[in-house]
Structure 1
Amino acid sequence: MLFRIPERWMHWVRCLLTFAWLVIIASLLYDPLTHVQTKLNQTSPPVQLANSCIHVQGKCFSGRSYSLGTTLMWGVIIPASIFVLLVFGHELWRRICPLSFLSQIPRGLGWQRQSQWKRSKTGKQHYKLAKVNSKSWLGKNYAYLQFGLLFIGLCGRILFFDADRLVLALWLLLTIAFAITIGYLYSGKTWCNYFCPMAPVEKIYSQPSGLFSSKAHMSQSMCRIVLPEGKEQSACVACQNFCIDIDAERAYWEDLKKPQEAFVRYGYGGLVIGFFVYYYLYAGNWEYYFSGAWIRQSHQMATILSPGLYLFGHQINLPKLITVPMILGGFTAIAYILGRFAEKQAKVYSRRHNLYLSSDIIRHRIFTIYTFGIFNFFFIFAGRPLILLLPLWMQYIYNSLLLLLSTLWFYKTLPRSPHLYFHESNTKPFSS
């Protein structure tokens, strides 16, 4: 079980992955080598796709050399993170995530903000680590904030840093600085639980559990430290009620009824679909996306005020700066409306056929179907410009593996219910 891997080992894994991530960011700022290897006049396989004319809004696209840093970020790192979440669950992701690791630097150095409070009996002043109040605006609406940051990030990717490595590096460095700042202002995994735009994605793909996650009722990826004698000790400061790091499935059932859960999960599906469909609506064909031409746009910033749609052979004179959030927002809204409509129809069907399904079960099953569908839709596109460079038989294996693993996850997840979860919790010790 992944939660049993010693924290000392995981610490070195985090260090290694964080170092690799920082090297990639550094390569975005200064990389004198890889852009030479990817010039369009070379004959290496990644470039052969670029030698033919790729039409963008009716004109032949002229790309330039590009850095492998952006290719690794969009073609490897992002797809790999989604794969890890569905297959291995949040408990692995939370223990290896470089950004989560960097956000804990203030805790490791002992530089964290403390709040002052007074004991009512003694009147003495005391200090404790600051935490987000669950009754505050942030405590109630953090899911909307995280989704909003995710929305901004995806819009920003299309508009500013799909191909512009300097802007991408600046975006990543600002995100790191923001995460470290939150780590100073608040204790625990406040960055992960309340601010990180990846958090909604984590919950969607890894709750109630990943395919190979540890069983429920375990302290899966709970904050922990290693004592000098080598023993592990909990470092939990209760920064969030029903924490996903302690018991992901319990957190899932507790949050299931909240309106923000429906918005985030249904809206995310529309956001992903809208994101990839936009490449077609912008260029007028799918070749633009699947060839990877978009990553060779060295003039990306110069296109934000140019026409952002190309439909039926004609440019639509709306700037890209407007059409990107409009399309992504529209797909998000439509997906949310369809999800809520599906819930209502399922409830009507349940009553009509005397199935006696609770609202929790109905919502859970629709969530499961949604997640299965959006996972497979995502991997039709994610990393595909690189996958298409592989031999055809390797592409078949890759596609079959994704479908097999997601189907096994679906088979495991669909029958889950609150009753089954709490029955298991009453028959098994929490720490077993």
Structure 2
Amino acid sequence: MLFRIPERWMHWVRCLLTFAWLVIIASLLYDPWTPALTKLNQASIPQQFANSCIHVQGKCFSGQSYFLGTTLMWGVIVPATIFILLVFGHELWRRICPLSFLSQIPRALGWQRQSQWQKAKAGKLHYKLAKVSPKSWLGKNYAYLQFGWLFIGLCGRILFFDADRLFLALWLLLTIALAMTVGYLYSGKTWCNYFCPMAPVEKIYSQPSGLFSSQANMSKSMCRIVLPEGKEQITCVACQNFCIDIDAESAYWESLKKPAESFVRYGYGGLVIGFFVDYYLYAGNWEYYFSGAWVRQSHQMGTILSPGLYLFGHQIDLPKLITVPMVLGGFTAISYILGRLAEKQAKIYSRRHNLYLSSDIIRHRIFTIFTFGIFNFFFIFAGRPLILLAPLWIQYIYNLLLVLLSTMWFYKTLLRRPHL
């Protein structure tokens, strides 16, 4: 029961992880040491690529060394985040996320903006913390905004900061600044609930619950502080109704009917597939991705106007700046269409065979199948250039563990119903 872990302990865990994350960001700006450790040789790339030329659009890749900051970000931190969300759910992630922690600094310092309102009878002015109105544009469309940020971030990875440390550092620092600004302007976890580009990913993998999440009626709000006398106090300000921090499963079933939910979940699957397939379409082979050559591109910015597709041994004369959003957007659209088509066919099948399944149950089961599939697809690629450096027996255990845990999650989640 992860929600039972004392907040005092989790506070130190958050501080430690945030410090480590900031150190990695600092290393992106200044790192004179790690290139010497990663100089390209027989031992620094996967064995199956060690004695071969890594071709990129028909030419041998010539990268010699790289920095560990970008490698840790894409090969360790991002895969670990996805793993935590599916296996341990929101109960762990919402309490350790460094970006969420940083967004709460204005609140901790008492610097939050307050909105002014007038009491009817006395005519006196009172102040309250600002919140996003559910009837506002943001309150109605935040899911599309978050997905848009995620889409821009993945396009930016391929175009600008897969290997370019300065661009990656600036992107991360800009995100931190935005999170803290939102933390000043609005109360509670408004950044997490309405702005964060990782929020759609979090919902997809941790709702209705993670593999080892507590039962919905047993957990309590993840928004807490420790009072001077050592007791914990809930600090929920109702910044969002049906909040994942209070009851992830109720929030899931409540949002299930919304059009944005199907767009985000189905579209995300295509976005992930398109992201990894784009490496193949750019280089003309899979060795480019699995060898980790993409993280050693010291000239990444110089490629954005070069041909972005290499098919059947020929360059397609479209700049990478155009082909990347085109590929990712196309796969997103196709995945969304296929998801809606699957829903339609499932409803027809249910009526023909008198299964009496509600629309919510049908959508929930298709969501579950999509999430199970995209989780395992993601880990075919995520962190794989590093995993391929390990002995074969470690690779087999790693793969088996991922399939086993995701299958257990699938079995648990597929049978969920609203009344449970």
TM-score by length of 1: 0.96
* Aligned twin of 2:70: 70
Partners of 1:317 and 1:45 in 2: CA distance: 33
Name the Cα RMSD after superposition: 1.0
Q: CA deviation at 1:64?
A: 3.0
* Aligned twin of 2:80: 80
Is there any run of 5+ residues in structure 2 with no aligned partner, and where? none
* Aligned twin of 1:382: 382
Paired amino acid for 1:128: K
- Matching of residue 373 in structure 1 with residue 364 in structure 2: no
Secondary structure of the 1:417 match is coil
Q: Is the 1:269–1:374 Cα contact (8 Å) retained in structure 2?
A: yes
Q: CA deviation at 1:221?
A: 4.5
Secondary structure of the 2:53 match is coil
* Aligned twin of 1:99: 99
* Cα shift readout 1:390-412 (whole Å, capped 9, x = no counterpart): 11111110000000000000000
* Aligned twin of 2:268: 268
Partners of 1:51 and 1:182 in 2: CA distance: 50
Paired amino acid for 1:316: I
* Cα shift readout 1:311-350 (whole Å, capped 9, x = no counterpart): 1110000000000000000000000000000000000000
Q: CA deviation at 1:192?
A: 0.2
* Aligned twin of 2:406: 406
Paired amino acid for 1:191: W
Please list, as runs of the form range in 1=range in 2, the aligned pairs for 1:212-223 lying within 5 A after superposition. 212-223=212-223
Secondary structure of the 2:83 match is helix
* Cα shift readout 1:265-311 (whole Å, capped 9, x = no counterpart): 00000000000000000000000000000000000001000000001
Q: CA deviation at 1:249?
A: 0.2
Partners of 1:171 and 1:115 in 2: CA distance: 30
Paired amino acid for 2:378: F
Please list, as runs of the form range in 1=range in 2, the aligned pairs for 1:24-173 lying within 5 A after superposition. 24-40=24-40, 42-46=41-45, 49=49, 52-173=52-173
Please list, as runs of the form range in 1=range in 2, the aligned pairs for 1:313-324 lying within 5 A after superposition. 313-324=313-324
Partners of 1:275 and 1:184 in 2: CA distance: 34
Paired amino acid for 1:129: L
Is there any run of 5+ residues in structure 1 with no aligned partner, and where? 422-432
* Cα shift readout 1:67-108 (whole Å, capped 9, x = no counterpart): 000000000000000000000001100100000000000000
Partners of 1:46 and 1:309 in 2: CA distance: 25
Partners of 1:332 and 1:33 in 2: CA distance: 40
Partners of 1:27 and 1:366 in 2: CA distance: 42
* Aligned twin of 2:417: 417
Paired amino acid for 1:362: I
* Aligned twin of 1:256: 256
Paired amino acid for 2:411: Y
Partners of 2:323 and 2:386 in 1: CA distance: 27
Q: Is the 2:46–2:385 Cα contact (8 Å) retained in structure 1?
A: no
Q: Is the 2:150–2:197 Cα contact (8 Å) retained in structure 1?
A: yes
Partners of 1:6 and 1:232 in 2: CA distance: 8
TM-score by length of 2: 0.98
Worse-matched range after superposition: 59-68 or 145-154 = 59-68
Number of aligned residues: 419
Runs of 4+ in 1 over 6 A off after TM superposition: none
Q: CA deviation at 1:47?
A: 7.7
Secondary structure of the 1:126 match is strand
Partners of 2:46 and 2:311 in 1: CA distance: 28
Paired amino acid for 1:211: L
Q: CA deviation at 1:218?
A: 3.5
* Aligned twin of 2:175: 175
Secondary structure of the 1:418 match is coil
* Aligned twin of 2:230: 230
Q: CA deviation at 1:53?
A: 1.1
Measured at CA, do residues 100 and 51 of structure 1 come closer, stay the same or move farther in structure 2, by a change above 3 Å?
Answer: farther
Q: CA deviation at 1:172?
A: 0.5
Secondary structure of the 2:400 match is helix
Q: Is the 1:275–1:328 Cα contact (8 Å) retained in structure 2?
A: yes
Identity across aligned pairs (percent)?
87
